[in-house]
Structures are given as structure tokens and as C-alpha cells.
Amino acid sequence: MDIIYNYIKLDEDIAHSRDAYQRTTHFNDLAINAVEGGANVGYARDRDFNYGWWTVDLNGYYRITEMCFYNREYQDSLRNFLVYTENQLHDNNELCINYSKIVTGKSLYNDENFHCELCNCTGNFVFLQQAYFGVFLIIEEVRIRGNLIRDSDEKLLSLENTELFISNVSNPNVKLLTDRLYTTFINSGKYIGTQPFIRIDLLKYYEIRTILIDRTDENIPTRQYFAIFVSELPFTCGQISNKYLLDRIKTSLFYVPTTYVGSKSKYLLGRYVLIKSELENGNLENYLPIANIFLYRKREDINLSTNYIHYEQKGHVLSKLKNDIPYLSGSIQMKANDILTINTIENFLDVICITFETDNQLIEKGVEMKFFNERNTEALLEMTTNFEGKMTNCGYFLGVIMNKLTILAKYFVAANKFIEDCQQLNSPRIIVSSLYINNTMEIGVIVGKKLKGNDVVVVAEHEKSNEQCFENGYMMTLDDKILYRYRCLKNIISLQILKIDPNIKIEGLYKFATISY
């Protein structure tokens, strides 16, 4: 391609002040410096000699017609490179420029000293790949000319309005993961034989397939992997299936500030993003040296509705639904081996409670409940319920998308009051399933006033026995509630919370982790 002069003015530059990233970073020579414009901004510079890359997110799908580069005095820093346009990071969708020479360094910053190349390619990201080994990649400034074709398929999701949970860190500051600096990061602490993790609650459901992680230059003396999951439930390290895995990134043993890209060909739907650290040698100190996290989500929003629920029952006819309100009027009589299926337009649920009623005998594993959504052929969640007399059983999802629930009755039972709110906490007897309390020996009960004696009793179920858990102190919450801690002697399978005083109002439940990740 012939070299021509066709300078791109700053107000014509579609890359100006866009989000930019690079493979490694030398101190504060950030990738975004190359698209800020101006003589005194600084430059983007990597920190190793191993085929560095730099990319900019145009935040739209463009036809690129020209690129201009400025190199100040670093004669060998911008040479032998390829430029691609990409729809998703690192897919190298279309080659724009194959430049096999050196962009000559010039000390005077003016229009004539920009080096420009014509091109004809389309994409959302412009990706520059160094093809020459042995020099740092240093980019003083890049300007791009192009025409917008349409909105991009994805956009950067702001973490400012999310909630973080980080192993061994209290009150983590999300700003440390969004300031783009490698010098500010959250220290998870160093523990031997653990799997520290970061869990991000996005507070809404998104479809995600790309995540970028900035790793600091902290040294771990073995190969480290970042396993990234997107799920509908707030899993931690020991609980999550690989069906939620977005990517498993192998980090470099050359410890410099590095940006890693995790991606998947298809989107994963979820509210929670889990990043955990794994080591090849699991007996060494493990921690999370993460400085920044960038999530790309599908631009199109997900709309969830709760306006219609349809009920079916094998062998029986159900009463009709009144006013499209998602609960049953009256009750359903189910005999042994009956299956009740509840089909609904996709709903966002935090909890669902079902009141079962039979005679006063204890029925062990009398009902099996399975929860599905249309994106999964296998059950998303399963619960087996013990009950005696009339009792409300609740599944705590902490946010899950569901469009079908099946209930298999093992004995004659009446089921009623299908609800979607937290009124179950007012029940005198609350059942908490293993889905919520997995891997814990301690549970917290949040109440509005101080308890006296046995106002609340917590009974834990183990593999072969039950025990009453003992009160282990209390603390005030930020909203002036009281969090009582109940300690059990063994890992809990499920538990019951009994309100001896019916005037006690339980505001919420809290799980204390008793294992190290």
C-alpha cells in the first residue's frame, strides 16, 4: 500500500478518548494515552519484548478507511506490526494493515509528522499486533477515520453500580478495580492451599462473553490460572459447575502488569461473575493480584416479565388463576407420584415458598422440587423437602431466572401459597435448604430487636443426626438491625429456624463461610 499524507484532525478521530487496552503496561504508560491526543499526554508502552499488542474499543461498528500514527523519538518502538478489526476481542476478524517498516520517530509534534495509512475494513475493535520480537511496543498517538455502520453488539459494563464479595477482604472498594491503574488493587491476602476469589453481583441479568483482567506484577512462584464463571447464583469456589465457565486463563510466568482477555464464542446469561485463582502447585501461597476488571455485555437488555403463570398437573385439574397473580387460590391435592408442573414466562425470583400440609406425621423427603429455565435442559436447582403437619418451605435463590418448576409428591400432600416475596421469614418455622448453607457451620439471623432466651431456636440437620446450634454472639448492622450468629458443631446439610416468640420479625439470613478459599 502506498504511503500518503491525509492528516486526521482530532474532531475527526473516532478513537479519541475511547477505552483502550494493551498486553502489558510499563508503570503508568497506559494504553488509553495513545488515543487522548496532544503533545504532553504521554504514550502507551508495554513492558516486555514478546510480541505486544494494543487495542481500542470504538464503541460502535465502523468501516475504517484510514489510520494515522505518531512516533516521537523512539526509532524502533513502532515497527513491523499488523492491524486488525475485530467484532470480539482477539478474534482477528479482518486484516487492515500489514506494515513491515519503521514509523520514523520525529521530535516535533505537528500535522506533517503523523504517518498515515489507507485501509478498508470493518469492526468494533481496532487491534494492533507487534510482529517484531525484541523491542518494546511504544505508541505515542493513534488516530482513526471511519464511518459508523451500526451500534456494536457489546458495550462495556460499568462496575460502579455493582457489589463485590472478595474472599478474606472486608468492605472491598470497587473503585480500585475500575481506575485503570496497576498500582491500586485489592489484596486478598496470601494463604497456602486456598482458592481466593472475587464475586461480582451485577444486580441485574446480562449476557456476557468477554472479560478483561489486569494482573499486577506480584510474583507467584508457580503457574497461575484465572477461572472465570458467569452464573445465575452467587456460587463460590467449591460449588460451581463448569457449565458456567466462560474461560480459564493461563497467566505468564514473566511477572509484569499484564492484561488478560477471557472470552467465549457464545454468551453466558447471569447476574454473578466469579473469578477464582488456581495454582499448578496448590500447596503454595495463593492470592488475587488483580488491579482492574472490564466486563463486556451484550448491548441488548434482557426483559423479564412476571405477568403470567400457567399451571399443569398430571392426572388432576387445577383451580383457575385469579387476576394473573402468581399464587394459587386454595390448595392442590396431590397423591403419591403426582407431578405438578408450573410453567411461566421467564421470571426473576429471589425466593419461592410453598406451604405443604398433611397429617401430623413426619414425612421425610416427601416432596422433590426442581427448577428450570429455558436455557438449561437440566434442572437449575433441586430441593428435597421434609415436612410435618402444615409447614412452609422456601428456596433461597438470591436471584435466579426461572420459567418452570416441577414438584413430585412422594405421599399425599396439599400444596398452596406459591409466593415470590420474602413473607416466608414471618413463618414460625423456616426451612433453609442446602442450596443456601452449603459448606458452613455458622448461620446469621437478622432481627429488628434484641432476643431474649430462646426467642429463636436454630436446629441443624447433619448426615445422621440433628442438633440445636448455640448462639455465638451478635453484632449491629449498618441499618441498626441485629445479626445473631448461631454456631453448629458440624457442617450443615439443612436447618430449621423456629420462632418461639411469634412477635419476632426475622429480617434476613446470612451465611458465614467456615472454609478457606
Instruction: Give Dmax over CA atoms of the chain in angstroms.
Output: 90
Q: Are residues 204 and 313 in the same domain?
A: no
pLDDT digits (tens, 9 = 90+) for 93-140: 899 999 998 888 888 888 888 999 999 999 999 999 988 777 788 899
Domain membership of residue 3 (yes or no) is no
Q: With contact defined as beta carbons under 8 Å apart, do 289 and 185 qualify?
A: yes
Q: Decide: residue 227, CB within 10 A, 0-12 exposed, 13-18 middle, 19+ buried.
A: buried
Do 234 and 325 belong together in one domain? Answer: no
Structural domain boundaries enclosing 274: 157-298
Output b/e per residue, 266-296; b: 16+ Cβ within 10 A.
Answer: ebbbbbbbbbbbbbeeeeeebbbbbbbbbbb
Residue 345 included in any domain: yes
Nearest CA among 57, 64, 61 for reference residue 121: 64
Instruction: Tell me, yes or no, whether 190 and 139 share the same domain.
Output: no
Q: 401: pLDDT confidence band, cut at 50, 70 and 90? A: low
Residues 223 and 353 occupy one common structural domain? no
Measured between alpha carbons, how far is 143 from 41 in angstroms, rounded to an integer?
14
Answer with the one of 125, 150, 175 that is the final residue of a domain: 150
Per-residue pLDDT, 503 = 81
pLDDT exceeds 70 at position 496: yes
Count of structural domains within the chain: 4
Kindly report which listed range (15-19, 68-72, 447-451, 512-516) carries the lowest average pLDDT score: 512-516
Q: 458 with 373, same domain?
A: no
In a domain, 330, yes or no: yes
- Tell me: the pLDDT tens digits for 4-61? 457 899 999 999 999 999 999 988 899 999 999 877 788 899 887 777 899 999 999 9
Closest CA to 472 of 448, 494, 443: 443
Say yes or no: 30 and 112 in one domain: yes
Instruction: Identify the band that residue 417 occupies on the pLDDT scale cut at 50, 70 and 90.
Output: very low
Q: Is the pLDDT of residue 349 over 60?
A: no
486 backbone dihedrals φ, ψ, rounded to 5°: -120, 125
Report yes or no on 81 lying in a domain.
yes
Same domain as 329, residue 208: no
Listed residues 130, 150, 170: the one ending a domain: 150
Confidence label for 512 from pLDDT (cuts 50, 70 and 90): low
418-433 pLDDT, tens per residue?
A: 333 334 566 677 777 6
Query: What long-range pairs does 9-15 form, CB within 8 A, spacing at least 24?
Result: 10/37, 10/143, 12/143, 12/145, 13/37, 13/143, 13/144, 13/145, 14/58, 14/60, 14/62, 14/144, 14/145, 14/146, 14/148, 15/56, 15/58, 15/126, 15/142, 15/143, 15/144
Q: Is the same domain home to 348 and 251?
A: no
- Residue 2 inside a domain? The answer is no
Same domain, 24 and 122: yes
271, amino acid identity: R
Between CA 476 and CA 483 the distance in angstroms is 6
CATH number for the domain spanning 177: value is 2.60.120.260
Position 79 scores a pLDDT of: 86
Instruction: Note whether 337 and 314 are same-domain residues.
Output: yes
* Cβ neighbours of residue 430 closer than 8 Å, sequence gap 6 or more: 392, 394, 424, 496, 497, 499, 506
Asked if 246 and 339 sit in the same domain, the reply is no
With bands split at pLDDT 50, 70 and 90, how would you rate the model's confidence at 152? Answer: very high
The residue among 115, 150, 185 that closes a domain is 150
